[in-house]
Amino acid sequence: SNMQRQAVPVIDPEAPLIGTGMEKKVARDSGHIIIADDDGIVTKVCADYIEVKYSSRKDVKPVRYNLYKFKRSNQGTCINQRPLVDEGQKISKGDIIADGPATCAGELALGKNLLVAFMALEGYNYEDAIIISERLVKEDVLSSIHISKQEIEARQTKLGPEEITCDIPNIGEDMLKNLDERGIIRIGAYVNPGDVLVGKITPKGETELTAEEKLLRAIFGEKAREVRDSSLKVPHGEEGIVIDVQLFSRRDGHDLPPGVNELVRVFIAKKRKISVGDKLAGRHGNKGIISVILPEEDMPYMKDGTPIDIIFNPLGVPSRMNVGQVLETHLGWAAKKGWNGKAAPKDDNDPIYCACPIFDGAYEKDIVELLKKAKLQENGKTVLFDGLSGAKVADNITVGYIYVMKLLHLVDDKIHARSTGPYSLVTQQPLGGKAQFGGQRFGEMEVWALEAYGAAYALQEMLTIKSDDVVGRVKTYESIVKGENIDKPGIPESFKVLVKEMQSLTLDVEVLSEEGKEVKVETDQDEIMKTVEELGIDLIGQEAIDMQ
């Protein structure tokens, strides 16, 4: 249940072939499905609502059930209800008339039934890694919709109120083409990282005017607005279609926190196909990360040419002793093939759904019996052929259907890279974490590894110009821009902080060179700022910008 809680609702959910018998009860009690209150007839069905005329309430108007459409859950997944009835259809009390997310025909449906093989394949499923077929990507078998919420507040500042507007200084027309006259992105726009969602300007303190500004003011006779751009932009690694915009304003009587005049929320939806690095899990604690997505033609295939959907490592079973996954595979295969009362395979392709209640599940002999009825091998194994060479795989392989869920740990939310970004004001080192657009921490153990290896120059630049040597950082950037050789690194800022800490403890600390001369530890800030301005870069830190 711990991982079922993390399951992402897929676009087209499917009830499990092998369930516990509680799926209907769980779905009904979830509150996400709509149930008929009485006998009646469906008078109208559309994407947004269903109208039902109940026979017990003859003189009353039809009851309208509004459906949730593409709402965001707290996990950022999509809550969407789908009608299950047609116009004019008769319904009885207790019938399910609309499905919710992760339900299928009123049953809990957290994932998909996939054709699985337990075998090793060139080491790609080493240590719980999973191999899947490209069919799952192409046919959106494990695709899901994710909705992110971005919000911005327009506050009352000491210098005046912030303003939401499309008139933003120093931003090109191209960046503003999707904003409406209020300065808010239009619904339906496709946005990429860095795009403006809501234009906002913040008043800036009066500064000394340049000669050009004085001339402009003299000509146009107006006081140019002293504002800076503080717009809401799409964060790094996010993209998608704007599906909803909400505007709350104190003027319209909305209840907002103190000091906030306006609040804008923008919802961005994105369809995420299954990809390498995503986490899948069965219902027996058998979780793993997708390591490779093979083309359908390269997957192992059965005698009739059916390619396998997903390959698990057989070594994931014995040490963990969760044999339930293998029994589910066997029973799932028999259920998919189906059988009739005469112990012969069924004529149609409809599977038989099996319930294995807690403490009253199928025994091994029951499963063997059902495999026989479905005209499959008693041991649940079959001959497979290598998709690349066409050669027969040496041993018979356990094949069947297993219920697989896609979990919330998605690689798109975790992948992160940084070049130049914000630095901490005190230590001057890059910030940490994806949320701060930070760098990768090179900790003391990693330093020991490079020391042991003898990679002195790599280590030196890690601890100086790639981190907190402020002068060296700027000079290195300058050298790269001008195509010159890079200077020797200087003194890291963290060392200067250490010296200052020791001086604050009334210790007289001096830094001496090899010749015994005192080395100046203070930094000439003016020289750095001059170089930074010439190059037009921000290497001083996000906090400094906020303070300005």
- Residue 400 burial class via C-beta count within 10 angstroms: exposed 0-12, middle 13-18, buried 19 and up: buried
- The answer to whether residues 227 and 201 touch, using CB atoms and an 8 Å cutoff, is yes
Distance CA 331, CA 354 (A): 8
The CATH number of residue 153's host domain is: 2.40.50.150
What type of residue sits at position 521? V
- The answer to whether residues 354 and 367 touch, using CB atoms and an 8 Å cutoff, is no
What is the Cα 155 distance to its own chain's centre? 30
Distance CA 443, CA 40 (A): 68
Beta strands 18-19 and 354-355 are parallel
Beta strands 163-164 and 200-203 are antiparallel
322 and 400 inside one domain? yes
Angle at alpha carbon of residue 452, lines to 450 and 457, rounded to 5°? 40
Q: What are phi and psi of 124, to 5 degrees?
A: -75, -20
- The answer to whether residues 310 and 130 touch, using CB atoms and an 8 Å cutoff, is yes
Residue 26 lies in a domain: no
What is the Cα 336 distance to its own chain's centre? 33
- The answer to whether residues 399 and 119 touch, using CB atoms and an 8 Å cutoff, is no
Residue 425 lies in a domain: no
Residue 427 lies in a domain: no
The CATH number of residue 91's host domain is: 2.40.50.100
Q: Which residues of 34-47 are buried (b: 16+ CB within 10 A; e: fewer)?
A: bebeeebbbbebee
Inter-helix orientation angle 456-463/444-453, to 10°: 150
Angle at alpha carbon of residue 38, lines to 36 and 40, rounded to 5°? 90
Distance CA 336, CA 20 (A): 17
139 and 278 inside one domain? yes
The number of folded domains in the chain is 4
What is the four-CA torsion angle of 296, 299, 300, 301, rounded to 10 degrees? -10
371 and 480 inside one domain? no
Q: 3-class DSSP state for residue 313?
A: coil
What is the token pair recorded at 386? 């290598």
Beta strands 144-157 and 160-161 are antiparallel
Distance CA 64, CA 67 (A): 10
Distance CA 102, CA 405 (A): 11
**Of 68, 83, 101, which residue sits at a domain end?**
101
- Residue 2 burial class via C-beta count within 10 angstroms: exposed 0-12, middle 13-18, buried 19 and up: exposed
254 and 280 inside one domain? no
Distance CA 324, CA 317 (A): 9
Q: What are the pLDDT digits (tens) for 399-441?
A: 999 999 999 999 988 898 988 788 888 888 888 888 888 889 9
* pTM of structure: 0.84
Residue 27 lies in a domain: no
Nearest residue to 381 (alpha-carbon basis) of 302, 281, 298: 302
Q: What are the pLDDT digits (tens) for 447-498?
A: 999 999 999 999 999 999 888 888 888 899 899 999 999 988 988 988 988 9
DSSP state of 73: P
The pLDDT value recorded for residue 546 is 45
- List of the chain residues with pLDDT < 50: 540, 542-543, 545-548
**Of 255, 272, 289, which residue sits at a domain end?**
272
The pLDDT value recorded for residue 297 is 95
Nearest residue to 371 (alpha-carbon basis) of 401, 350, 347: 401
What is the token pair recorded at 390? 């066409």
What is the Cα 456 distance to its own chain's centre? 38
- The answer to whether residues 105 and 37 touch, using CB atoms and an 8 Å cutoff, is no
Residue 439 lies in a domain: no
Q: Which residues of 361-374 are buried (b: 16+ CB within 10 A; e: fewer)?
A: bbeeeebbbbbebb
- For residue 541, CA distances in Å to 195, 238, 381, 431 come to 22, 23, 61, 9
Domain carrying residue 409: 1-14+110-143+274-415
The pLDDT value recorded for residue 545 is 47
The pLDDT value recorded for residue 469 is 87
Nearest residue to 328 (alpha-carbon basis) of 102, 19, 109: 19
On the CB side of 400, CA atoms within 13 Å amount to 28
266 and 278 inside one domain? no
What is the Cα 454 distance to its own chain's centre? 39
470 and 542 inside one domain? yes
The pLDDT value recorded for residue 343 is 60
Inter-helix orientation angle 324-337/364-373, to 10°: 30
Q: What is the mean pLDDT of the chain?
A: 89
**Of 101, 120, 154, which residue sits at a domain end?**
101
Distance CA 130, CA 117 (A): 11
231 and 335 inside one domain? no
Residue 430 lies in a domain: no
171 and 256 inside one domain? yes
154 and 258 inside one domain? yes
Residue 437 lies in a domain: no
DSSP string, 485-544: PPPPP---HHHHHHHHHHHHTT-----B-TTSPBPP----HHHHHHHHHHHT---S-HHH
Distance CA 434, CA 148 (A): 16
251 and 158 inside one domain? yes
Sign of CA dihedral 308, 313, 316, 318: positive
325 and 201 inside one domain? no
- The answer to whether residues 528 and 471 touch, using CB atoms and an 8 Å cutoff, is yes
Beta bridge partner(s), residue 198? 184, 232
Residue 20 lies in a domain: no
The pLDDT value recorded for residue 420 is 79
Kindly report the three-state secondary structure assignment for every residue of 171-199: CCHHHHCCECCCCEECCCCEECCCCEEEC
137 and 2 inside one domain? yes
